């Protein structure tokens, strides 16, 4: 039996004194000038090389500052096999630098296929070696059980999509079933899974993705899911603020991690950092944006108690 994933994550959060999660979403058109000559005509090989350099550069900056990173698989998959080699390199490099890696792949299927996804991605025994994986719940309980089993066996984590940050999520997630929105039914099931395998932290390894862009529902779900660790997207570029995510934390400042992707990794192009740093000092812009987010969460949420 491996150590509970959430215990590992909480130790990293306490060590760095912040719940900031940095998303690695490399996009050719947004890279700092100098990493890629011309994004419009660059080959897949050239883009892959630039992504590798960029992701390693981001990791070098944030590794001493935050507990975890979240590579978004889609941006690597877009480049085909070469991109997947870079994704593998990014995961391994982040782990070498002491970061927890949550792979944002939103995978799932039924039965043996779900088990194959779980074995492929989760834990040191897997070829991808992710510490945790995002998963879709809408194929039902028999599609989630294999992920729970593998995560428990390998000391890994799973984050189930419950209330996503995108505006269109409400089309299905807010539909009323037996008088309650669908996201509440999903949340209740995820909470039951996490309770079964909760460690000494009080949280289990089966978490929920709940967006910062719906602060009222975030507070509602934290109350309804007290033993479930939360992964919160939507901070920054999508409009979520530190005050919006404050209800996600327990009294000790634990229980949640808050993701920021574009707002950190492409900070060199944001107005508040562009004139000071620009493309030439893009890593300094990444550091400044990370430190600013850390300070915001400390000032406006219970994470200030870490």
Closest CA to 128 of 161, 97, 85: 85
The tokens describing 233, both together, are 């997207």
For residues 154 and 124, the answer to whether their CB atoms sit within 8 Å is: yes
63: left (phi over 0), alpha (psi -120 to 50) or beta: alpha
Question: What's the gap between Cα 64 and its chain centre?
Answer: 18
- Strand blocks (E) in the chain: 20-24, 68-71, 100-107, 132-135, 157-163, 176-177, 180-181, 206-210, 230-232, 256-260
Asked whether the beta carbons of 190 and 224 are under 8 A apart, the reply is no
CA 40 to chain centre: 29
CA gap 70, 232 in Å, rounded: 12
Q: Which long-range contacts (CB under 8 A, 24 or more apart) does 188-193 make?
A: 188/224, 188/225, 189/137, 189/141, 189/144, 190/137, 190/160, 190/162, 190/225, 190/228, 191/224, 191/225, 191/226, 191/227, 191/228, 193/144, 193/148
Of 17, 49, 106, 170, which residue is the catalytic one? 106
Q: Minimal CA–CA distance to 54: which of 103, 100, 93? A: 93
Tell me whether residue 106 is one of the annotated catalytic residues: yes
- φ and ψ at 261, to 5 degrees? -105, -85
Contacts of residue 141, defined as CB under 8 A and 6 or more positions apart, other chains included, come to: 189
Catalytic (active-site) positions: 106
């Amino acid at each position: 039996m491996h150590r509970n994933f959430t215990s590992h994550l909480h130790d990293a959060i306490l060590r760095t004194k912040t719940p900031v999660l940095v998303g690695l979403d490399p996009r050719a058109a947004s890279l700092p000038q100098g990493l890629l000559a011309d994004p419009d005509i660059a080959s897949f090989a050239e883009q892959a090389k630039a992504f590798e350099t960029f992701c390693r550069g981001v990791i070098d900056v944030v590794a001493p500052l935050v507990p975890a990173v979240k590579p978004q698989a889609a941006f690597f998959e877009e480049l085909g096999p070469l991109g997947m080699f870079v994704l593998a390199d990014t995961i391994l490099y982040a782990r070498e630098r002491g970061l927890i890696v949550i792979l944002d792949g939103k995978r799932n299927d039924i039965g043996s296929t779900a088990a194959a996804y779980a074995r492929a991605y989760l834990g040191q025994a897997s070829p991808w070696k992710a510490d945790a994986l995002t998963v879709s719940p809408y194929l039902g309980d028999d599609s989630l059980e294999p992920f729970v089993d593998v995560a428990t066996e390998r000391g890994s984590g799973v984050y189930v999509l419950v209330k996503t940050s995108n505006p269109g999520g409400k089309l299905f997630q807010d539909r009323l079933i037996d008088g309650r929105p669908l996201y509440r039914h999903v949340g209740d099931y995820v909470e039951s899974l996490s309770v079964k395998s909760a460690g000494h932290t009080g949280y289990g390894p089966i978490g929920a993705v709940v967006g910062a862009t719906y602060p009222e529902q975030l507070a509602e779900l934290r109350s309804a899911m007290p033993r479930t660790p939360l992964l919160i997207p939507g901070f920054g570029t999508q409009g979520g603020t530190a005050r919006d995510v404050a209800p996600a934390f327990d009294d000790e400042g634990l229980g949640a991690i808050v993701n920021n992707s574009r707002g950190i990794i492409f900070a060199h192009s944001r107005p508040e950092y562009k004139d000071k740093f620009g493309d030439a000092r893009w890593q300094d812009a990444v550091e400044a944006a990370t430190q600013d987010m850390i300070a915001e969460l400390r000032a406006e949420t219970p994470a200030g108690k870490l």
